Chains A and B, each alone.
Chain A
Amino acid sequence: MSSVLLPWLFLLVGAVATYIWRGLGVMLSARINGDSPIMRWVAAVAYAMLAGLIIRMILLPAGSLATISPIDRLGAAAVTVVAYFVTRRSIVLGVAAGAATLILLLYLRNGA
């Protein structure tokens, strides 16, 4: 296969594989009542998948993110949560503290 075309084929596959779920979601939403038990179940499935994905990205990331040491990843995550509660639930300060920790740890490990 032509190497010029191949990346574009990957992007096409990615776009279709992504939108198909969104389009199906719109169709499904029209068929079930917003307050029904089925909808509550669908929302619960969504939240469980999101939490699973986020924790997996932190604990067991795929590919290149895995090159960040687990100690750095967990350290940054722990500082993020602690800073969030210490600053009375400020998402801005929580993420900023987590980012600063991560950059510092990465610098100490890789830089200097």
Chain B
Amino acid sequence: MMPANRVTFTTLVTFADPMNKPARYSEDFGSIAAARRQGALAALAMPAVVLGASYLGFGAFVRQSGLTLPQGVVSSATGWALPGQIALIEIYAVGGTLVNAALAVILTNARLLPMVASLMPVLRAGEAGPPRLRHYLIAHLIAITGFAIAMQRAPQMLPEQRLPFYQGFAITLWLTTLTATMFGFFLAGMVPLYVTLGFVFLNPLYFMLVFIADLKHRLRALALILGALLGPALHLIDPEWGLLATGLIGGTAAFLIDNARRRRSHGWRR
């Protein structure tokens, strides 16, 4: 259920976008405050439930790895991106070095650079000038869930309401995961390990469905399919650099194929 639908109506508002062509935005929340509120509600609808369950699993995992409750919560607060958090704790638990941990987290989270770089212009929507503090702050809360949903929905929103919507969405999600980390830590003593692992595993299942919705978009579909095929293969060849190579090879190939298709359809029209 999309709570935003209640206030969504098709307005024929015409704005001048940076390219100076008129655009039509179908989602208008009415005000900045309402956009923030609808963002929070959109997070609570489904993402907070699934991500909350995943962080329950993470909290339990923190305890089973010999770390304390404050350490688990600090990890979720400061290193907010589940795959990197799991990699870090796992390396700590098996007695790995700080250098091992740094390399693993850097390579697991390299995806955040292209994610933030491509989402930020959508959220800023042609706002001029260098990035401000609020942009650097909200970047800390850009992760898979918010990225996927904002890339799908934000382009239809009025430009000035996009960042507030995302703030409401991401802060709600972040606070939910901090709470879930805490509850998960207490849960660890009560349920067997395989149950908490099951919670963590909900995460990729949910992301998989979120991205299936993107298969209608040609460039994203090509990149997702190539990434899904290359990811496991390149991981088997080199577990450390495989993911980075997947992004560069799969993404570049998708970009080139999409460009070729664009040029061809352009030619047909002429």
Contacts and interface: CB of A to CB of B under 8 A. Distances in A.
Tell which of A39, A47, A76 has the most Cβ of chain B within 10 Å. Answer: A47
Contact-residue size bin, chain A (C-beta under 8 Å from the other chain): 35 or more
Nearest to A1: B98
Interface of A: prevailing SS? helix
A84 to B, nearest CB: 5
A10 B104 CA distance: 12
Given A18-B80, A56-B232, A63-B90, A48 B251 contact: yes
Contact of B209 (A29, A35, A94): A94
A72 to B, nearest CB: 9
A14 B85 contact: yes
Interface in B208-257: 208-214, 219-220, 222-228, 230-232, 234-236, 239, 242-244, 246-252, 254-255
Chain B contact surface mostly: helix
Contacts of B197: 64-65, 67-68, 106
B195 to A, nearest CB: 7
A61 to B, nearest CB: 8
B111 interface: yes
A47 B118 CA distance: 10
B175 interface: no
A15 B125 CA distance: 28
A9 B200 CA distance: 24
Contact of B111 (A6, A53, A67): A53
A21 B251 contact: no
A77 to B, nearest CB: 6
Q: Nearest 7 A-B pairs (CB), nearest first? A: A52-B231, A25-B116, A45-B251, A48-B250, A51-B227, A34-B121, A48-B227
Interface of B: 18-19, 46, 50, 53, 61, 67-68, 71, 74-75, 78-81, 83-92, 94, 98, 101-102, 105-106, 108-118, 120-122, 124, 126, 130-131, 135-136, 139-140, 142, 144, 147-148, 151, 192-195, 197-198, 200-214, 219-220, 222-228, 230-232, 234-236, 239, 242-244, 246-252, 254-255, 258-259
Interface of A: 6-11, 13-15, 17-30, 32-35, 37, 39-65, 67-68, 73, 76-77, 80-81, 84, 89, 91-92, 94-95, 98-99, 102-103, 106, 109-111
